[in-house]
A = this chain, B = another copy of it.
Amino acid sequence: MPMASSFSTVRLNLNECSYPIHVGENILVETGRFAHDVGFIGQAAIISDTIVAELYAATVVAALEDAGFKTSTHVVDQGEHSKSFTKVESLCESLANHGVDRYSFVVALGGGVIGDLAGFVASIYYRGIPVIQVPTTVMAQVDSSIGGKTGINLHTGKNLVGAFHQPVAVVADTSTLKTLGHREWNEGFAEVIKYGIIHEADLLAQLRSGIASLPDLVRRCVEIKASFVSADERETAGLRVLLNFGHTLGHAIETVAGYGTLLHGETVALGMLSAAQISQSRVGLPEVAVEEIRETIQHFELPMRLPSGMSQDQIIETMFSDKKFVNGHIRFVVSPCLGSAKLVDNITVDDLKLALAILEPTTP
C-alpha cells in the first residue's frame, strides 16, 4: 500500500504560460496524476542516472503506467560529465528507438545534472517536447528544476550550450532527499543560504536553528525562485541575474578545480564568502551580516577555504578568459544588507583579489 502523500502547489506564472510546482513527502507516486492533470496523452520517456534510477525509477514508472501512460526509461551515468553532446545524442537516439514522438513527454528524474541534460534533450527532440522535472536533490528542488534553464557543457566552459525550456510541471518529493549522501545534502543548502542573503534574511537564522519542516522549507525556496523567474524569465530585466549571487566567482572556482572536484554548492559557498566580503567593502554590508553568512555556511559544513594548490590568480585568469571583464571591471551581484541584492558593474580585479584572499588555504 502506498504511503499517504500530501503536498502543496506553487504556481509559476509566465507571460505565455504557467506551471505547477508540487512539493511534499512521498509524492513520486502522484507523478502519473500530475502528468494527467496537465493534459498529457502520449508516452513518457523517463531520463535518469544509474543511482537515482535504481532508487526511484520503478516508483515513477508504476505511477505513470497506473495512470495509463506507456513508458520507457533512459539512464546515463551520474555526474557532471554526463552533461555532454555525446550523452544528448545517445539519449535522442534512444528516445527515437523507443518510439518517443512529438506527442510524448520527458520526465527528468534526478539532480541538477539530469534536470539540465533531460530538459535540454526535451527542448530539441522533435524541436521541443514537454518535460516534467522530478528533482531528487536539495539543490535541484530549491533551484535548478525551476525556471527553464537547461544546458550541457563544452570543453571550453560550463553550460555554454542549452535552451530555455520551461517544464510543464515540477514534482519535488522531499522524501527522496533522505537518500542523499552527507555532502550532497549539505551542498544543496548553499542555494537556500543564497535566498536568505538576497531576499529573506530570516532564512539564515532558521537554517542554523534546525529545519522544522523540510517540505515547508523547500516550498518557501520554490516561491522565492518562482518570483524571480516570473518577473524576468529570460534574465533580461536585471532581476533574475540577482540569483547569481556567489555564482560568478563560484563558477570560476569550479572551472579551475575541474568539474566534479568540488560540488556546485560547495563552489557557490566559496563564491558567497567572497561576494559577502566585496559587499562589505563596496556597498557597506555590515560586519555582523558577513559573520552571519559565514556561520550559516559553516553550519552546513560547506568549504570556507580554497582547495590547496588553487591560487587566486588562476581564478581571476579564468574570469578574464571567460570575458567577464569589460574595461577592467566586472558585473557582480552584491548585497548591501541581508535580504537584498543588487547588480553593480564597477568591481575591479583588486576587489576580487581582496575577496579571494579570505579563501586562501594559507590564511590562518
Interface set of A (CB-CB < 8 Å, partner B): 85, 88-89, 92-93, 96-97, 99, 101, 120, 123-128, 149, 151, 154-157, 160-164, 323
Cβ contact within 8 Å between A93 and B128: no
Q: A101-B323, A127-B151, A323-B101 are in contact. Are A93 and B164 (CB under 8 A)?
A: no
Min CB distance A300 to B, Å, is: 30
Instruction: Kindly list 9 other residue pairs between chains A and B, CB separation below 8 angstroms, not including A99-B323, A127-B164.
Output: A89-B154, A92-B154, A92-B160, A93-B155, A96-B154, A96-B160, A97-B156, A120-B124, A127-B149
Residues in chain B near residue A157, CB distance under 8 A = 96
- 23 inter-chain pairs at a CB distance below 8 angstroms, sorted by A residue, are A85-B85, A85-B88, A85-B92, A89-B154, A93-B154, A96-B154, A96-B156, A97-B156, A99-B323, A101-B323, A120-B124, A123-B163, A124-B124, A124-B162, A124-B163, A125-B161, A126-B160, A126-B161, A126-B162, A127-B161, A127-B164, A128-B163, A128-B164
Cβ contact within 8 Å between B163 and A163: yes
Q: From DSSP, what is the main secondary structure of chain A's interface residues? A: mixed
Cβ contact within 8 Å between B101 and A161: no
Residues in chain B near residue A163, CB distance under 8 A = 123-124, 127-128, 163
Min CB distance A153 to B, Å, is: 10
Residues in chain B near residue A154, CB distance under 8 A = 89, 92-93, 96
Give Cα distance in the complex from A97 to B322, angstroms: 11
Residues in chain B near residue A323, CB distance under 8 A = 99, 101
Residues in chain B near residue A89, CB distance under 8 A = 85, 154
| Nearest CB in chain B to that of A150: its residue | B127
